[in-house]
């Protein structure tokens, strides 16, 4: 997982979750991507941070 400083917002639960990935653009912006979104439409591909509650959370 990337550092909260690079995300621009504290990630909350996503920062501790096994499903979190980070994407960095060529311009240097970093986004946190939810790996569950690919197979479960309940989850946003790019969750609004910080996430305080999530049914898909699994600790790393
Ligand atoms: S499952 Fe929930 S807590 Fe985990 S990365 Fe996705 S949105 Fe974040």
Q: In the prediction, which pLDDT does 15 show?
A: 96
* Structure tokens that stand for 21 in this block: 């990935």
pTM of the predicted protein model? 0.88
Task: Quote the ligand 1 centre to 57 CA distance (angstroms).
Answer: 5
Ligand 1 atom 6: the closest Cα is on which residue?
Answer: 34
Average the pLDDT over 17-37 and give the result. Answer: 94
Q: How far is the CA of 27 from the centre of ligand 1 (A)?
A: 25
Residues in Cβ contact with 33 at an 8 Å cutoff, skipping those fewer than 6 apart: 20, 21, 22, 23, 45, 46
pLDDT tops 80 at residue 30: yes
| Closest CA relative to residue 54, chosen from 25, 14, 24 | 14
Region 8-36: mean pLDDT is 94
Q: Domain limits of the chain?
A: 1-54
Looking at residue 8, what is its pLDDT? 84
State whether the beta carbon of 34 lies less than 6 angstroms from ligand 1.
yes
Closest by alpha carbon to 5, among 24, 25, 30, 27?
30
Percent of the chain with pLDDT over 70: 92
């Amino acid at each position: 997982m990337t550092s909260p400083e690079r995300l621009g917002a504290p990630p909350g639960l996503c920062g501790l979750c096994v499903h979190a990935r980070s994407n960095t653009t060529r311009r240097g912006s970093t986004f946190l991507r939810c790996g569950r979104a690919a197979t479960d439409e309940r989850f946003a591909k790019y969750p609004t941070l910080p996430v305080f509650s999530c049914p898909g959370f699994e600790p790393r």
